[in-house]
Every structure is written in C-alpha cells, then in structure tokens.
C-alpha cells in the first residue's frame, strides 16, 4: 500500500475534528430528525455551524430573534418569499415541520454573534447618522425604531448589527425594487427614497458595529452573567 502523504493525513485529521461534535443523520427530511441536527448538518454548509457565515451571499443567523427566524423559514417553506436566493437555496425545504422550524430558530438564536469588518470610515460615519436619525427629508425613519437601538433585532425584526454589508444592501434592493418578500411592505415604504449610496453607508456601519452577544435579548446568557443592556 502506498504511504499516505503528510498533508493528506493532516486534512483528514482536521475534517474529523471539525465534525466530531456534530449530530448527524442520513435522512434530514425525516420529521423525526431534530432541528439542531439539520442546522449542523445542512444549514452549516452555507451559514456555518454556529450561524456565522463566511460568504456575504449568506446571512449570519447567529443571535437572530427567534420569531424572525420562524417567520422566514415558514415563508421559505410555503414559497411566499421569492427573492432569487430564496428560490435557489431555500425553496427545497418544504419538508420542514413546524417543530423543526421552531428548533432551528431556537438553535440559531442561541448562538453567539460576531462583529464584521470595518470599512471606509467616512462611509461608516454617514451610515451611523442614518441609522440613528433616519433621513427626515426623505421620509426614512431611524433604523433603530424597529430593529432595536443598536440593531440587535426585536421580535419579527431581524438583527442587523454585525451582518455582512453586501447582504444588507442586497436585501434593501429586494425590499425597494420588488415585492418578493411577503412581510416587506413596511420596509418598502420606509426605504422608498433611499439612494444606493445611503444604503451602502448604513450597511457599512452595521457590519462594523460592535457585537455584544450577552447584551442581546435574543441570546441565552451564561450563568452569573448580568442582564445589562447596551
């Protein structure tokens, strides 16, 4: 037998370590499979095992409000959410049960969120102003009035702080220019007059903003951790 090359041994060892704590199933379309297993075995391919995606094509799910995640998974399952990536990546999940959807939402909402990268300083500062005060002359409300003072997400409104800037901009375009998100009527009205530059500024600010996980209302706190707010 040919000897295995050192780099191959290292690769196999790394893969084994990466998967050793993941609950696995050969039939993720089985209603008896736990949501956590689906999250770790299927959703992780795009969103990461802990909901912190690497590619901006896929949103970070960690620490998102449970209610928001349930709404979105329900809309994917029913095909009511029909933006291009929803069709491409999520429309196949028609087999999810209500229990699995709730378990998926609970799993990701309990994960620790992360901060994104710092972009252009001037753009970030411009975005901070829009996030905090809106654009009164254009009828654009402050983002924090729905998404929380720090963008941490509230109920059916998603967490925005730390999210990939490219993903935020893409979704703002979807809200403004299409009707493919069934719960998007409010957003469509609010951002109707926003320019692309203003969208990119807000997105840059959100990606660069600090992410204090244990101050979030969406994440479970470890024992002994205080209940202070940001």
Give the contacts of 53 (CB within 8 A, at least 6 positions apart): 46, 47, 59, 60, 61, 164
Q: Binding site residues, as ranges? A: 43, 46-47, 90, 143, 146-147, 187
**Cα of 73 vs its chain's centroid, Å:** 12
DSSP letters for 45-82: HHH-TTS--SSTTS---TT--HHHHHHHHHHHHHT---
CB 216 within 8 A of CB 63: yes
Around 79, how many Cα atoms within 13 Å sit in the side-chain half-sphere? 6
CA distance 126 to 7: 47
Q: What are phi and psi of 157, to 5 degrees?
A: -100, 130
Q: Binding site residues for heme c, as ranges? A: 43, 46-47, 90, 143, 146-147, 187
């Amino acid at each position: 037998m040919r000897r295995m090359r050192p780099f191959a041994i290292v690769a196999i060892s790394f893969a084994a370590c990466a998967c050793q704590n993941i609950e696995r199933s050969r039939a993720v379309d089985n209603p008896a499979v736990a949501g956590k297993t689906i999250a770790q075995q299927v959703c992780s391919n795009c969103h990461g095992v802990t909901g912190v995606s690497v590619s901006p094509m896929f949103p970070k799910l960690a620490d998102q409000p449970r209610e928001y995640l349930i709404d979105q998974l329900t809309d994917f399952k029913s095909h009511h959410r029909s933006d291009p990536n929803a069709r491409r990546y999520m429309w196949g999940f028609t087999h999810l049960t209500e229990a699995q959807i709730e378990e998926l939402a609970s799993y990701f909402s309990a994960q620790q969120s992360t901060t994104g990268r710092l972009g252009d300083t001037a753009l970030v500062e411009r975005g901070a102003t829009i996030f905090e005060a809106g654009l009164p002359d254009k009828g654009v409300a402050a983002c924090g009035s729905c998404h929380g003072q720090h963008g941490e997400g509230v109920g059916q409104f998603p967490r925005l702080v730390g999210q990939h800037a490219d993903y935020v901009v893409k979704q703002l375009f979807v809200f403004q220019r299409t009707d493919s998100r069934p719960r998007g009527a409010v957003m469509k009205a609010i951002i109707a007059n926003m320019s692309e530059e203003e969208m990119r500024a807000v997105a840059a600010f959100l990606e660069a903003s600090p992410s204090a996980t244990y101050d979030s209302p969406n994440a479970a706190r470890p024992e002994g951790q205080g209940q202070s707010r940001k």
